[in-house]
Every structure is written in C-alpha cells, then in structure tokens.
Amino acid sequence: MRKKPGSSAPQPLSPTYLKSASKNEETMRLKVVKPHEASFDYNVVFKTGDSVKVGREDPEMPGWYWCKDKNGVESWIPEEYLSIDGEQGTITTDYDTRELTVEPGEAFEYVTEVKYWTLCRDQDREGWIPTQNLEPTQ
C-alpha cells in the first residue's frame, strides 16, 4: 500500500474524531469520498513472529518497507508492525496487506489507522483504504 505518484499528501483522520471513537461508545463509521483501486491483485497475511527480508523504505511514504516473506512474496509493511535488524525483520503484529478497491459513497466501519492508511470493514470485506479517501459520517 502506498500513495500513488502525483497524489496530494495524505492526511490522518481527525484526532478528535479518533479519540471519541476509541471510547468504544459506538463504532466509527466512514464513507468513501474518493475512489481507490487496490495497488496489488494479491494480499499477504503475516503473523506475529514471522521473519521477513527487509528491503528499501518507500521514499514517498517514509515508514513503509518493501519486505519479502519466506515464500518469496513481497509487500509493503509499516514500521509499526515490524522489528528491523539490518536486512532482517520480524512481524510484531498480525497484518493482512489486503487493499480494497472502493467507490465514493461506500460505507465502512473503522478498525485502525496506520501510516495514512485506514483498516476498514463492511459486511463482506475488510482491508486497507488510503485515509485521504475517507471521511467520518455521523
């Protein structure tokens, strides 16, 4: 997952809105305001403790690392989910790289946000959407 070339700098969700959602009083609802097409036609599921080979850091979105799993499958992993020691890394939190292809008007529940990407779910799917493509609903 990463910002497409030429797109504007991503912005996180409002800290005030996130704080109110974290109280678990209600599930934060989001709506898609800008379309997004998944960058890859596959996803990789990493489990806590998995070893990966750590490659380059994304110059457009610092804190994202191109990593390769034991089967040779490569994907971007945010530093929050990765412990790096040279070219070796260990996954620190279960992480599924699935991005969602979405259109304006679609509605989702907020799960979490990491490095300008928001993990969302609806009745049928769960995956990552660029935070700049979402806005909170009431």
Q: Residue 87: its pLDDT value, please?
A: 96
Exposure pattern of 65-82 as b/e (b: 16+ CB <10 Å)? bbbbbeeeeebbbbbebb
Strand, coil or helix: what is 102?
Answer: strand
Query: Given pLDDT bands bounded at 50, 70 and 90, which one contains residue 10?
Result: very low
Q: CA neighbours within 13 Å on the CB side: how many for 83?
A: 10
| Stretch among 20-29, 64-73, 102-111, 127-136 having the lowest mean pLDDT | 20-29
Q: What is the mean pLDDT of residues 20-46?
A: 83
Write the pLDDT tens digit of every residue in 42-93: 999 999 999 999 999 999 989 999 999 999 999 999 999 999 999 999 999 9
Q: Which domains are assigned to the chain? A: 15-38+98-136 (2.30.30.40), 45-96 (2.30.30)
Distance CA 43, CA 19 (A): 30
Name beta bridge partners: 31. Answer: 107, 135
- Dihedral of CA 101/107/110/111: which sign? negative
| 95, 29, 123, 35: CA torsion to nearest 10 | -80
Q: Residue 27: its pLDDT value, please?
A: 83
Q: Residue 26: its pLDDT value, please?
A: 67
Q: What are phi and psi of 28, to 5 degrees?
A: -70, 130
Q: Residue 112: its pLDDT value, please?
A: 95
Q: Residue 43: its pLDDT value, please?
A: 93
C-alpha pair distances (Å), 102 with each of 30, 65, 75, 77, 105: 12, 24, 20, 21, 9
Distance CA 93, CA 49 (A): 8
Query: Given pLDDT bands bounded at 50, 70 and 90, which one contains residue 20?
Result: very low
Q: What is the mean pLDDT of residues 95-110?
A: 97
